[in-house]
Amino acid sequence: MHEEHGSHRIAHEEYVEATPKEGEHIAAEAHMEHDMSHEGHNAPAMAKMDHGRHDMQGMEGMDHGGGMGRAGHHEMMVADFRKRFWISLAITIPVLILSPMIQMFLGLGESLRFAGDPFVLFGLSSVIFFYGGYPFLKGFVDELRKSAPGMMTLISVATSTAYIYSSATVFGLTGEGFFWELATLIDIMLLGHWIEMRSIMGASRALEELARLMPQDAHKVMPDGSIKDVPLSELIVGDRVIIKPGEKMPADGKVVEGETSVNEAMLTGESKPVSKKTGSMVIGGSINGEGSVTIVINKTGKDSFLSQVIELVREAQESKSRTQDLADRAALWLTIIALTGGSITWLVWFVVLSAELSFAIERAVTVMVIACPHALGLAIPLVVAISTALSASKGLLIRDRAAFERARNIQAIIFDKTGTLTQGKFGVTDTIMFTDGLSEDELVKYAASVEAYSEHPIAKSIAASVGETFETTGFNSIPGKGAEAKVNRRDVKVVSPGYLREKNIPYDDARIGKIAEQGKTVVFVLIDGQLSGAIGLADIIRPESREAVAKLKEIGVQVMMLTGDNRQVAKWVAGELGLDDYFAEVLPHEKSAKVKEVQARGLTVAMVGDGVNDAPALAQADIGIAIGAGTDVAVETADIILVKSNPLDAVSIVGLSKATYRKMLQNLAWATGYNAFALPLAAGVLYNYGIVLSPAIGAIFMSLSTVIVAINARMLKA
């Protein structure tokens, strides 16, 4: 570790405010301008900073292995605070022993006094002041340079006042110095910052943990067919790579050989292993299951899914919370109040009440220490960082912080139908029997046995609805009408209503009319020339859609649907899900107008849809949510991107937004409430009742308030 720490702010400030330096490798960044100035906890949550810029943007470096990263750097800073604390604490012991007040308190009289002991006390306290207090003094200088007084200003003014006054008493000024209070104050400040930084390390590690998902090397298939282990930096688009069971995918790519299941939980939030076979796409950093597969790489470096996720998280953490404006103003005013209050406290005690100079200074120092806007400065940024990282781990990517915070006030949410509320593919929804002696499952299985040989989309949907088919021979297509084959030695035809009309086969049935009114496709099954049953098909409603709609309605959100499909289909889906409203037969360019129509009702509207086809509607909505982005997370018109095609994730966004805002308010309430209570106490309003706070006790209260704010923010993860 460097002896001089350049101009580097403390971890909790840095991790929420660090900005990228284009094109730099993490490892190189991790050694830049490394200091402990701990500047301005009252700074805006995502303000631009000019120190080392330890971010995770250098994904070219990330996915090519190596690099300390910010979390490792924070660990160094935690270790540095720990070291400063223990050294200062060790020196504090002789300071306490040599302090006249402590000797009197312990009843030692003058037994430990010796010639020159005030100078020894001065020397030891000077080491604590300059070594232990260095982070705060350096931060004070930086705050003055930027004309932004804050926490460091208060701590430095308080400790410097105590040090200068106490030193003056050693060299001739009449009065009692309080070196022991100075020493214990700095010790407690160091301890408080050490504990606080450890409390918030989880959030600062979030992007680092994502970066660590990448392996160090890959098994590249060479042109001659041999396998060579190469570092990720040597991989390019088009390379073929083998991934063995249990290994991590080295890059985004397409499976060209083999089958397996892949764990994508850390990347998309998908809890179950995802099946992969030839043609399937895999994400770099996901963990291969039991099979061995060969992939062709199609994305590396900054173009990879993981790189884009990390960039989105970083951008979201840099986008400013509206609530932060309130915290910034409050912190600035608290700094002014603390400095003014400290001065007034000294004047009242020394000038008005004629107290001893040392007592008046001690009261002023306590006021400035206890009023540090430390907790207030952390109240919002820490919640922002944790909520953003938490959402990313669940496959909920926040592009616009302000929009995410508005999501707590959503009054109406409009879902696109196809691929969002539905699966975007046909499936069997109804089975109608016309004869006895055959079960519904058997009817579908007979039909699937025929359709398994057809390339028609509807035929494929029927075939996909069963696991196994009967023995089938003699398949023959009936152009424009259906198909036929021998199934279990029986003649089976799967045909359209047009075939029945052509053959004058009656099929009048109220049940057929009902599913036809719902806009579903109906096919008929004839077995040995007899009309045995009918099968209804439609775009399958996702199982999660019902739960998502129910949960949204529980919290008072109106749920609507937008679709280009016909009115009958839209009505059926809306009825099945219990939607409040729906818009059917809407052309792509008309979708934004429908969103505007709902907004005209005075509602705050979120639009959930495809990031490409629904782009105008997403842009028009108060909150645009792109769903089912998969590995393509570069959706410019969306405020929030859902990696999976699960409508329940939209519910999660609303819930997380509400929880995040609640934590912000809790932290702000605690930070401001604490100061309202602590300031008068520090000034000595209860002096007549024997209650007086020393600077050290004030530092304990201030540190505890900060740690409470940090712990409360981390409870978002619970």
CA dihedral (522, 523, 525, 530) in degrees, to 10, reads 70
Element (H, E) at 294: strand 293-299
How much is the average pLDDT of 158-187?
83
CATH homologous superfamily for 386-421+542-655? HAD superfamily/HAD-like (3.40.50.1000)
Mean pLDDT, all residues of the chain? 81
Instruction: Provide the percentage of residues in the chain whose pLDDT is more than 70.
Output: 80
Distance CA 505, CA 499 (A): 8
Which residue shows structure tokens 């915070």?
A: 405
CB 534 within 8 A of CB 434: yes
Distance CA 529, CA 541 (A): 33
3-class DSSP assignment, residue 523: strand
CATH topology of domain 216-304: 2.70.150
pLDDT digits (tens, 9 = 90+) for 28-42: 222 222 233 333 333
Which residue type does 154 have?
L
pLDDT digits (tens, 9 = 90+) for 477-486: 998 899 999 9
pLDDT: which is higher, 320 or 332 = 332
How much is the average pLDDT of 377-406?
84
Which residue(s) pair with 605 in the sheet? 412
Which of the residues are catalytic?
416
Q: Is the dihedral of CA 564, 565, 566, 572 positive or negative?
A: negative
639, with CB counted inside 10 A (0-12, 13-18, 19+), is buried
pLDDT classification of 14: cutoffs 50, 70, 90: very low
Which residue type does 392 have?
A
pLDDT classification of 55: cutoffs 50, 70, 90: very low
Distance CA 371, CA 149 (A): 13
Lookup: tokens for 49: 């900073």
- Residue 630: per-residue pLDDT: 55
How much is the average pLDDT of 342-358?
91
3-class DSSP assignment, residue 146: coil
Q: Is the pLDDT of residue 22 over 60?
A: no
How much is the average pLDDT of 649-667?
94
Which residue type does 664 have?
M
pLDDT classification of 208: cutoffs 50, 70, 90: low
3-class DSSP assignment, residue 298: strand
Distance CA 144, CA 447 (A): 80
Lookup: tokens for 167: 């030193």
Give the predicted TM-score (pTM) of the model.
0.66
Are both 386-421+542-655 and 423-541 of the same fold? no
Q: Is the pLDDT of residue 225 over 60?
A: yes
Q: How far is CA 425 from the centre of its chain?
A: 32
Task: Kindly report the number of other CB atoms within 10 A of residue 400's CB atom.
Answer: 16
pLDDT classification of 622: cutoffs 50, 70, 90: very high
pLDDT digits (tens, 9 = 90+) for 265-301: 767 666 678 889 999 999 898 889 889 999 999 988 8
CATH architecture, range 423-541? 3-Layer(aba) Sandwich (3.40)
Element (H, E) at 274: strand 274-276
Closest CA to 462 of 493, 435, 429, 434: 429
Distance CA 658, CA 272 (A): 27
- Residue 713: per-residue pLDDT: 87
Q: How far separated are the first and last CA of the chain, in Å rounded?
A: 35
CB 203 within 8 A of CB 71: no
pLDDT digits (tens, 9 = 90+) for 549-575: 999 999 999 999 999 888 999 999 999
Give the residue extent of every domain in the chain.
Answer: 11-208+322-381, 216-304, 386-421+542-655, 423-541
